[in-house]
Chain A
Amino acid sequence: MNDIVPDPLRAYLDRLVAAVPTGRARQQEMREELQAHLHALYEKELLRLHDERAAIMSAIQQFGASDDLTSELQATVPFWERLKFLVQEKGTIMWRWLLLVGCVAILVGLGFVFPAIAKFNNPELAVRSESVGLSIALLVLGIAVTLGGLGSCVWGTMLKLRTKSS
C-alpha cells in the first residue's frame, strides 16, 4: 500500500481496525481489503461530485459508521484468537495479572498441602480411612493449584522479559 490514500480515509480505516482484537498481520490484511473497497468508492464519488472533501464524506457515509463496523468486525474474531491477542499484544498488562494470580494460587495451594501433610503425620487421624481419603484429595488439589500458580508466575515472568527485550 502507498501513501496516496487521503488522510481522512486513512484515519477512518485506522479507527475501524485498531480496536479489532486480533494479531497485527490479520489487522493489516483486514485494513488492506477494506482500503481497496473504500478507495474504489471514493474514486467513484470523486468522479460524480468533483470535490475531494465531499467524495471522502460520501464514501465514508456509504461504507458505514466506524463504531458500528468496528463492533461487527470485533464480533467476527473467534474466542481463541482474542485470547492469543490478549496474551501476545497486551503482554505489558498481562504479565502483572499472571504474576498476581500465580502468587495467590501458590498461597492457596500451599494452604491445602500443609494441612494435608499435617494430617498424615498425625497418627490418630491417619488410621481413619475417610480422613486419609480427604487428606489425599486435599493434597492432590493443593499440589495442582500450587503447580498452576508456579506455571502462571513463570508465564508472567517470560512475558515481562519478552516485553522488556522488545
Chain B
Amino acid sequence: MEPIHGDQLRGHLETMVLSTLEHGEAHGLEILRRLDEAGCGLLRLKEGSLYPALYRLEAAGEVAAVWEDEPHGRRGARRRIYRLTAKGKRKLGEGRAHWQQFVRVLGGILGAPA
C-alpha cells in the first residue's frame, strides 16, 4: 500500500489526535506512536506538525494538558501530557460522523462505496 503523507491528512489530523487520546492520556511521542500503529506504519507525518494541532485543540478546550512532574531521560526537557475533555469527546463524535458522510458521498461519486 502507498504511504499517506501529511498534506493528505490536512483537516483530519485533529480528529485523529482526539481519537488516539480516547485510549488514554498521552504525550506527543506516544500520540504519534498510536497514530503510526493505527495507521499500520503507512502515515508519513512530519512529527513537529503534531504540536500546532495539539495547541489548537487545547485552545478550543478539546484537550487539556499538564506538564509531567519530572523530566525523564530527555536532557531535562519535560513533556506535556494531553487528555481528552468532554468537549473533545463530543468533537470526536462529530468528526467521525462527518468522516462517514464524506466517505459515503465520495465513495458514491467514485463508484467505490466504503
Give, as a whole number of angstroms, the nearest-CB distance from A55 to chain B.
14
Q: Determine whether the beta carbon of B49 is less than 8 Å from that of A33.
A: no
Interface string of B25-42 (1 = CB under 8 A from A): 001110000000000000
Nearest residue (CB) in B for A61 is B46
Q: Is the CB of A62 within 8 A of B47?
A: yes
Report B85-101 residues with CB < 8 Å from chain A CB: none
The answer to whether B47 touches A5, judged by C-beta atoms less than 8 angstroms apart, is no
A interface secondary structure, majority: helix
Q: Flag whether A163 is at the interface (Cβ < 8 A).
A: no
Cβ of A33 and Cβ of B77 under 8 Å apart?
yes
For A9, the closest partner residue in chain B by CB is B75
Check if A39 sits within 8 Å of B47, measured CB to CB.
no
Q: Does B12 contact A (CB under 8 A)?
A: no
Q: Mark A116-159, 1 if CB is under 8 A from B, else 0.
A: 00000000000000000000000000000000000000000000
Chain B contacts of A16 at CB under 8 A? 48
A52 and B5 alpha carbons, distance in the complex (Å): 27
Cβ of B46 and Cβ of A2 under 8 Å apart?
no
Distance, CA A75 to CA B29, complexed state (A): 22
CB-CB < 8 A to B28: which residues of A?
33, 36-37
B113 contacts A by Cβ under 8 Å: no
Asked if B52 and A72 sit within 8 Å, CB to CB, the answer is yes
Q: B75, A4: Cβ atoms under 8 Å?
A: yes
Within the assembled complex, what's the spacing in Å between the Cα atoms of A39 and B56? 23
Within B40-89, the residues touching A (CB, 8 Å) are: 46-49, 51-52, 55-56, 59, 71, 74-80
Within 8 A of B (CB), among A20-69: 30, 32-41, 62-65, 68-69
Binding site for A on B (CB under 8 A): 27-29, 46-49, 51-52, 55-56, 59, 71, 74-80
Beyond known contacts A1-B75, A36-B77, A63-B47: 9 more, CB 8 A cutoff: A16-B48, A33-B51, A33-B80, A34-B48, A36-B79, A37-B28, A37-B48, A40-B29, A78-B59
